[in-house]
Amino acid sequence: MRPSKGFAGKGLRRIVAALLVGLSLPYGAGAQDRASLVADTLFMQDNSVLVAQGGVEVFFQGRRLTASRIVYDQAANRLSIEGPIRLSETGGDTVILGSQAELSADLRDGLIESARIVLDNQLQIAAVEAARIGGRYLRLDNAVASSCRVCAASETPLWEIRARRVVKDEVRQQLYFDHAQVRVAGVPVFYIPRLRMPDPKLKRADGFLLPRLSSSTTLGTGIEMPYFLTLGTSRDLTITPFITSDQARSVKLRYRQAFRKGDLTLQGAVAIDQVADGLRGYLFADGSFALPRGYRLGFHGEFASDETFLTNYDITDADRLTSYVDVIRVGRVELAFGKLRGITSLRSDENASTIPALVGDAIWQRRYAALGGHGVLEFSSHGHLRTSTTLTDADGDTVPDGRDVARASVGANWRRDWVLGGSGITGAVLGEARIDSFNIAQDSVFAGTDTRLWGAAGVELRWPWARVGKDGLRDILEPVIQIVGAGASDAAIPNEDSVLVEFDEASLLSLNRYPGFDAVETGAHANIALSWTRLSPQGWTTGLTLGRVIRAEDASQDFSLASGLGGTVSDWLVSARLQTAGGLVAAGRVIADDDLNVARGEMQLSYAQKTYSLGAGYIWSIADAAEFRAEDVSELALNGGYALNDYWKLTANGRYNVAANLPNRAGIGLSFRNECVLLDLSLSRRFAQSTKVTADTKFGVTLELTGFGGSTRGGAARTCQR
């Protein structure tokens, strides 16, 4: 039969307006319902049949169809399509492949032969025939589903689900399997009469999450089976029962809700086990909400029934629970912040009534420019309460105890820098002043109201030197000296917030090294520092900082021995760092005297390559009663990972108490990840024991079949052998 009209030529596809054909759609269709068709060849038969062939593409309502040949029968309003066929939905999350098809003109109904469905580039479902029904359902009979790659030499996937029928609901975004059989390496594992799973692109859906198997010497061997429940578009609840072989029974709950201007999360658990009598549990709460005028409200709450519950159930190792509510606003030149905290101790050897139970802080800061320099103006307040009120001394007398403190402060700092002539020397003038008013109660020594005025001023000189070598190496050497004078009015203030003073690169050049408000640094002193940095064109850098403080008066009574800041001459601060293009990063800091006796030190080392990584950390500090440390601290931490191949990875970590010559923690993990499976095996041991914590060994197993809604993305796909 001769065509009544004909158009040919592959060049037509490359013209912007190559072919736009308005297909006849159901009555009432508007211009937005018309389809666009592009092909190498297009002609009409009997004035009612449109034939397109050669690189055919059809675009209609977000769907895209490609095929080698399409015949459109206008009278029947049907499409006959010859493959290879590729039909993709809006966004490309769902792709349907086939050899040939009979579809309605709007691509919503019909049959596709030798069908294969690809969901979110992960899960594949294959069937002899697929039926599209009403644009909502896709039905596949005698189907096989898997996200594993299948090779010609080995057509059996690592895992697969075979079903008599699979129905995909586009509206609910669910997959329904009838008479499903789960197979691993081709071997049937278990049978499920009816199985429902979420579409891979669905982020939230009711149903069971992946179970987790664990074993603990404290609780026994058990399994967690979480169930996720959606409560509308903005709320959800996760329920996780946990049962062990040692008769431990617990239920963990997590509730989340999103609001128009904030969010809320509640999580907790209740349990009955052999560790303690009665019902045990915990509850944590977190929230954040936007307030008017740029403020933001946040809160966090913590509660535990006893000292060991959080540790037994691997929730946290914290030995103090802190709950708070805060309000904050951060602007370009202004900060406003307020926070109220409640603290509960879980330490069995700590008298909870003597630590602050309620702590409040408020700060307002504003940057300003004045006299050619810049500074910060600050108003702040603080208060804390203890629950204890009296104490019996050695003579049997009752004395007040549980110090309560309230403070209000006003302070400002200022700095101006100059470049001095053409020598390259830079100079600066800097100063800071503050007035603090304290009200102290429940203390037989410091009770009452006292006000302290403190101020400090100084000058600073820097002389940076730079050199570029013939090989491209750049060296920067910078000596710095600060001459500082500081003084304070007499006041009897107990030091509670500035006991631990860090001597590091940040505090070396500082007018006041105390981190809090209770103590201030006074007297005349010189801060001296020398820094050196080398930059290599090969991508590595190294640096060294050396410094100390020289005082006019002895400061041994002001600073702890471990801080290194006491005496008329402080210990040396030595800091070094190295980073190479090959993945090595090393940093260390040491505080030592002239005889190289180290008071405090720390070191971090990491090395990362494509197949392996190593990390180490070490801390050391001498015993110091002023810092509430009765024994030396010396601890080594190690971690590492090694990729055995593209799929298997081995990890290990450990902590060792060098001072006590005892291990603290150790753990090892083995994971397997490919395009369709994630397997995690972990083994950990806690060696440390106390009245609160017992030694414990734990083993965990997690198995995940990737490709379903909310699941983890797969790893490297296995390679097919040719």
3-state secondary structure 514-571: CCCCCCCCCEEEEEEEEEEEEECCCCCEEEEEEEEEEECCCCCCCCCCCCCCCCCECC
DSSP state of 14: G
**Could you tell me the residue ranges of all domains in the chain?**
5-198
- Count the helix, strand and coil residues of the chain and give each as a percent rounded to the nearest 5: 5, 60, 35
pLDDT at 14: 34
The answer to whether the CB of 173 falls within 8 A of the CB of 205 is: yes
How far, CA to CA in Å, does 523 sit from each of 152, 177, 491, 566? 82, 80, 16, 13
pLDDT at 20: 39
Its CATH architecture, for the domain 5-198, is Sandwich (2.60)
CA 173/CA 123 separation, integer angstroms = 14
Give the residue ranges of the chain where pLDDT is below 70: 1-34, 90-92, 152-154, 391-397, 399, 688-693, 707-715, 717-722
Please report, as a single letter, which amino acid is at residue 111: L
Please report, as a single letter, which amino acid is at residue 75: A
Is this structure's pTM higher than 0.75?
yes
Burial of 538 (0-12, 13-18, 19+ CB in 10 A): exposed
Helical spans, DSSP H, in 158-299: none
pLDDT at 8: 40
Please name which of 349, 293, 290, 354 lies closest in space to residue 319, comparing C-alpha atoms.
349
Beta-strand (E) ranges in 319-403? 320-330, 334-345, 358-370, 373-385, 390-392, 398-400
DSSP state of 720: P
pLDDT at 30: 47
Tokens found for residue 380: 């702040």
How far, CA to CA in Å, does 119 sit from each of 67, 91, 92, 135? 20, 11, 9, 16
pLDDT at 714: 66
pLDDT tens digits, one per residue of 271-314? 999 888 889 999 999 999 999 999 999 999 999 998 889 988 98
Residues 6+ apart with CB under 8 A from 489: 451, 452, 453, 454
259 HSE (CA, 13 A, CB side): 10
The answer to whether the CB of 608 falls within 8 A of the CB of 583 is: yes
How far, CA to CA in Å, does 643 sit from each of 219, 609, 617, 640? 32, 10, 22, 10
676 HSE (CA, 13 A, CB side): 17
Residues 6+ apart with CB under 8 A from 3: 43, 44, 45, 51
CA 313/CA 267 separation, integer angstroms = 14
